[in-house]
Amino acid sequence: MSFITGVGLTAFGRHEGSSSLDLMSKAAELAVADAGLTRAEIDGVLCGYSTVAPHIMLATVFAEHFGIRPTYAHAVQVGGATGLAMTMLAHHLVKARVVRHVLVVSGENRLTGQSRDASILALAQVGHPDYEVPLGPTIPAYYGLVASRYMHEYGVTEEDLAEFAVLMRKHALAHPGAQFHEPITVTDVMKSKPVALPLKLLDCCPVSDGGAAFVVSRERTSETGVRVLGCAQAHTHQHVTAAPALSELGAEIAIARAKQAAGVAISDVRYAAVYDSFTITLVMLLEDLGLAARGEAAARVRSGYFRRGGEMPLNTHGGVLRYGHCGVGGAMAHLVETQLQMTGRAGNRQVRDASIALLHGDGGVLSSHVSMFLELTR
């Protein structure tokens, strides 16, 4: 068994003067304290990457900086799926009794540490160096391509996509750590600057500074435990040019395997945390995961289904779309929020029932997927 015993999250936005290591340390400190542990008790470290300060041994660098000597440590890189991939690995490491407490940590000063152009350029390199990158695509363009096809096949409109930006902003309003605190409307999204059509500025996640961390332990460290029920991955391609048909995408493969590993059905899920780098990402993943039928996700947003008080509260912190996106830590905030919801500590954002949660992360251009189910145990 494995439990998410502690979580830590910084505010996202501008952290002028903070390095990636600073942000990692801040989040790690919060998570270790939240788990009721001391630094010396952490014997495993998994960390993501920083595009601002790339390093071939980031976990070791972090461990030295943070002042710990783990018996197991390395970095993991799977783009937006990194956070959940690390959680999955931590789950298996503690289950296999390799370590007792794994600190999963990431942080990056992506907003103030480099220019927006540099961020966009760094991320565009997920494209093929010979056959894609010379054409000048950006990450929004890769997802713009996917969006154009998905909208064509399933009759999804730009207004439908906009609903998700509005919902995430609404949720972010209730979180003091979120990067954005002004409400927006569908019209605002439709009128926002075109980036890579059909995606406009408000369909895209921002670039942020921030850090996130959690501790995955063999035993619970407090009365309420959040247990990893089961998880699975799928990797179908790297480049959008080589992506399979929309009906064969990795999210469906990953969720099918995760359901089997966890022994649960989608109907058991009470809270959803789904990666949302762009509005189209969220729409497609919700429909791939079975949280909405094909082409119906937007209707479910309009009916309030994914709201805090709805049947399936979704990304109640605002997701990477509106809480912010600092790289690996961005998607980790989904898990931090889920753990807070499950343990009844989400304050003004608290949902009625988050006893079973579904998390899903995606890296690349819907390339790498991790699905995970968590369960509250008392």
Partner 1 sequence: MSHGKRALADWTTGAEAIVYQSCAACGSLQYFHRSFCRACGAPDPIEKRASGEGTVYAASLVVRAATPETRAHVPYNIVLVDTVEGFRMMAHGDNDLAIGDRVTARFSQFAGRLVPYFARTKIMRVRSASRRKHESFTASKR
Tell me which residues touch partner 1 (CB under 8 A).
Answer: 117, 120-121, 124, 128, 130-132, 134-138, 140-142, 144-149, 151-152, 157-158, 193-199, 239-242
Q: In the bound complex, what is the minimum distance in angstroms from residue 115's beta carbon to partner 1?
A: 9
Q: How far is the CB of 278 from partner 1 (least distance, A)?
A: 11
In angstroms, give the least distance from the CB of 253 to partner 1.
Answer: 19
3 state SS of 348: helix
- Cβ closer to partner 1: 16 or 130? 130
Q: Are 112 and 14 contacting, i.e. CB atoms less than 8 angstroms apart?
A: yes
What is the edge-to-edge ordering of all strands in the sheet holding 356-363? Answer: 72-75, 44-47, 101-109, 209-217, 3-9, 225-235, 368-377, 356-363, 271-274
Output 99 or 145, the one with its CB closest to partner 1: 145
Residue 149 Cβ vs partner 1, minimum distance, rounded to whole Å: 4
Query: With contact defined as beta carbons under 8 Å apart, do 369 and 251 qualify?
Result: yes
Closest to partner 1 by CB, 141 vs 282, is: 141
Nearer to partner 1, 14 or 239 (CB): 239
How far is the C-alpha of 274 from the C-alpha of 286, rounded, in Å? Answer: 7
Are the beta carbons of 107 and 22 closer than 8 angstroms? yes
User: Which residue number, 280 or 372, has a Cβ lying nearer to partner 1?
Assistant: 280
Task: Quote the CA–CA distance of 84 and 368 in Å, as a whole number.
Answer: 11
User: What is the C-alpha to C-alpha distance for residues 229 and 259, in angstroms, rounded to an integer?
Assistant: 9
Nearer Cβ to partner 1 (140/211): 140
Nearest approach, Cβ of 148 to partner 1 (angstroms)?
A: 4
How many C-beta neighbours within 10 Å does residue 307 have? 17
Bridge partners of residue 358, in order along the sequence: 272, 373
Least distance (Å) between residue 235 CB and partner 1: 14
Residue position matching structure tokens 């942080």? 107
Q: Cα(275)–Cα(253) distance, rounded to whole angstroms?
A: 16
